[in-house]
Amino acid sequence: MMQLAVRAEPLLSVDNLVVEYGLGNKTVHAVSGVSLAVARGETLGLVGESGCGKSTLGRAVLQLRRAKSGRVLFDGEDLTAMEGEALRKMRRRVQLIFQDPIASLNPRRRIGDIVAEPLIIAGVKDAAERRRRVHEVLSAVGLDPDLVAGRLPHEFSGGQCQRICIARSLVLNPEFIICDEPVSALDVSIRAQILNLLEEMKARFGLTLLFIAHDLAVVKAVSDRVAVMYLGRLCEVGPSEQLFASPAHPYTDLLLQAIPVPDPDVRPVEGVAIGEPPSPIAPPSGCRFRTRCPRADQRCSAEIPELREVTPGQFAACHHPLA
């Protein structure tokens, strides 16, 4: 069932992508030369702490944020070169789910209309056909269409709003969904329901997912492969099990050690984490993690580490990878 290796023809490939923001007369280096590939039917998890560029990368894939350089190939076509109608057409195949489900829904519109909106934009003129699709996706996400379609978003809890957002993202039959922190605003008991739902929807509709989150355990639960970002660069990418069992990049290792484990017999090791990430306005030379890395030396400040295969399928950008 699980396809771990990327097949010859990935559905999405991001090639040396650079995204920068202007901030006054300064430049924020949000994404600095990231390359990734997602195979059809695969879930790629993308983890990193706030400000690492993971959300910017997600938006740059959809061309909601234009890249400075690099390419985004979706099903063989370069999205960065597309504009207007061509881009709009392509976007029907790629959808986005956000962190805050309540803020993602127009508070003045009824659920049925919110979920039908993408169909109207896509030019589905037949009202009966739209109703049929809305009915179908609302049922798929575990809501009773007859009960919810006429209601307003404020009548629903956060978990239910996220179900509605998922229904809306499915209504155009997309192939690819970018989930940007889809469960981090939800309580633990609701989070599990939504993660299970995403897995179900993926299987039922044959989806490919880019799952962006800061919580490693959440990412592992749904991902075939995981990519770790730090300060705009990719540190490590590999099959989930392998990456979590034997991280090669010291930053992945730090992230794993910093997670509080719900077991009193696992005593928290004090002093694992050092310092804070530097500003993406003036990122360190060489390896961007070197200012917090226990293994850093001269070479790490002089030379940007390339992503290299450390074990089959697992790649790390580090001059001194962990054994």
Site residues (CB under 8 A) for another protein? Answer: 1-2, 49-50, 157, 159, 187-193, 195-196, 199, 214-218, 220-224, 240-241, 244, 254-268, 270-273, 276
Q: In angstroms, give the least distance from the CB of 123 to another protein.
A: 36
Q: For residues 64 and 259, which CB has a smaller minimum distance to another protein in the complex?
A: 259
Q: In angstroms, give the least distance from the CB of 268 to another protein.
A: 4
Q: For residues 119 and 216, which CB has a smaller minimum distance to another protein in the complex?
A: 216
Q: Using DSSP, state whether 35 is helix, strand or coil.
A: strand
Q: For residues 72 and 197, which CB has a smaller minimum distance to another protein in the complex?
A: 197
Could you tell me the sign of the dihedral formed by the alpha carbons of 216, 236, 251, 277, in that order? negative
Q: In angstroms, give the least distance from the CB of 310 to another protein.
A: 20
Q: For residues 81 and 274, which CB has a smaller minimum distance to another protein in the complex?
A: 274
d(CA 65, CA 17): 12
d(CA 301, CA 308): 18
Torsion-angle region of 88 (φ positive above 0: left; ψ -120 to 50: alpha; else: beta): alpha
d(CA 61, CA 246): 29
Q: In angstroms, give the least distance from the CB of 228 to another protein.
A: 12
Q: For residues 17 and 207, which CB has a smaller minimum distance to another protein in the complex?
A: 207
Q: Are 149 and 132 in contact (CB under 8 A)?
A: no
d(CA 284, CA 282): 7
Q: Are 214 and 47 in contact (CB under 8 A)?
A: yes
Q: In angstroms, give the least distance from the CB of 105 to another protein.
A: 18
Torsion-angle region of 198 (φ positive above 0: left; ψ -120 to 50: alpha; else: beta): alpha
The first and second tokens of residue 213, run together, are: 């989150």
d(CA 12, CA 192): 27
Angle of the 127-140 helix axis to the 111-121 helix axis, nearest 10: 120
Q: In angstroms, give the least distance from the CB of 272 to another protein.
A: 6
Q: In angstroms, give the least distance from the CB of 199 to another protein.
A: 6
d(CA 101, CA 183): 9
Residue 218: partners with Cβ closer than 8 Å, 6 or more residues away: 183, 184, 191, 195
Q: In angstroms, give the least distance from the CB of 150 to another protein.
A: 21
